[in-house]
Each structure stands twice: as structure tokens, then as C-alpha cells.
Amino acid sequence: MKRDPYKNQERWTSWKEKHFKHNPKGIRKEDWVILVKFLKDMELGLNTPKGMKGQRDVGTLLNLSAHNQLFLKNFSKPLTKITKIDLHNLEKDITQGKILKRNKQKFGAFGNYVKDFKVFWHWGIRTKVFKEDVTEDITSKTDKPDWVYLTEEQIKQFFNKLDFEHKVYCFFLLDSGMRVTEANSIQINNFSKSLHKLLFLMKFQRHLAER
């Protein structure tokens, strides 16, 4: 089982208990009912698009709930009456800074919100909640952040300061390209018959380090 260091399952369960039956302030009740039905379907893996079947994980559900609330709070009319112009005007207001985050900062990655709104809206079309695809002309493109990296020499300096156990672990992450959360969820049966090879390599590396 994949570990949950960020307690997403706990957060999702708490969010459902708090919000599934009561619409948040500033959101129309009829719109909230639609969003909750969408989230329930995504949790169960119902009415999903072709090629992307299956239940959505709790991290995805949390993003879908949070990102789509932004649209529900700022549309001037009910969801079932939204037009392309309404969506693009909202995009304009957000990108120009007329609508800000709670910390009074501009939305730096609004494309991520658009991406999740498209998921919501396309679900609505499949389930016949919405008739027109108002999202077909809006882009979910987001500027990539500056790439932060270590040079080969910096990596060597860092690794050489580690004790043996942490050095092996870091080399394993570097060579495999795993995320920290993925490595943290590894079990012995993931290696199958190759486990003895991994243990041999670890012993051999220890031997080299002790020479």
C-alpha cells in the first residue's frame, strides 16, 4: 500500500464530512450540488473519460475540489447558464490580478485551475448536466518554473558527506528517478526475484566504501 506522508486521505475524509452536505459561503447551492456529484463520481471512478478510467486518488480529489471552487465563487450566474464569454472574462480578471488568492497574491499557475475545471465540465457534458463545451477555447497552459538542479560536482560533494546507509538510499533515488513518496512506499515484494541482486549490490558498495 502506498504511504500517505501528507495525510491526504485524512484531509479528504475531513473535507467530505464538512462540505458534502453544506455549500460553502459564496457558492450557490445548486452549483455546489453539481460539484459534489462530480467529486463522488471521481472518487468511485464513474463517468470518467475514455482512456482515463478508474478511481481518482485522494490527492487528485482534493485538487479538483479546491480548484473548481474558485470558478463557482466567481461566476456571476449559475453553472448551467455559463457561456464561453463568462469563462474567458473570468480568466481575464484572474490573470490581470482583479481576483486574487487569499494571501492577496496573483494566481501564478492559473492553468492548473483551468485544467481541473475542464475535467469537471467535460464530466458535466458526459452526464448531460451541461450542454455546451465552454472550455474548448481556453488554454490550461502554465509557464514552467525555473529548473533548479545540482551539478555533478555538487552531487558528489553532497553524497560524500552522507553516512553509508543514506548514501545508498540517495544513489538509489538518483538512479531510479523515483519521487521520495514513491521510494517511501517500496515493499520487498516490489523487487520480486531481483531483491537478492539489490542486496548483493548494497553489500558490494559497502565493501568498496570500507576499503
Rounded to the nearest 5°, which phi and psi values hold at 146?
-60, 140
Name every residue whose Cβ is closer than 8 Å to that of residue 126 and which is 6 or more positions away in sequence: 47, 49
The pLDDT, as a whole number, for residue 93 is 96
Asked if 172 and 183 touch (Cβ cutoff 8 Å), the reply is: yes
| Of 204, 32, 47, residue with least CA distance to 124 | 47
What global pTM score does this model have?
Answer: 0.76
Question: 180 vs 183, 186, 194, CA distance in Å?
Answer: 5, 10, 21
pLDDT tens, position by position, 14-57: 999 999 989 999 999 999 999 999 999 999 999 999 989 999 99
Q: Which residue numbers in the chain have pLDDT < 50?
A: none
Rounded to the nearest 5°, which phi and psi values hold at 92?
-60, -45
